[in-house]
Amino acid sequence: MAGLDPKISINPAVDKTFDKHRVIVVKDAMGEQLIRRWDKLWKPAQGNRPKAPVIYMTA
């Protein structure tokens, strides 16, 4: 999530849903682990599943 730009991905939805003058969006991320490495059951929207080790298993 460190590569996520909140101005593009999160702030527009927050501004649309809430009063943008009363909400503060704070980004605190580091490490840059891909979502596909968090979840054993993750599947790409298209194409084949990339070969990468799984960090956390889904319960």
pLDDT tens for each residue of 10-49: 889 999 999 888 888 888 776 666 766 777 777 777 776 6
Instruction: Give the CA-trace dihedral at 43, 45, 46, 50, to 10 degrees.
Output: -40
- Both tokens of 11, joined, read 């702030």
* pLDDT of amino acid 33: 67
3-state secondary structure of 9: helix
pTM above 0.85, yes or no: no
Side-chain-side CA neighbours of 44 within 13 Å: the count stands at: 8
* pLDDT of amino acid 17: 92
3-state secondary structure of 47: coil
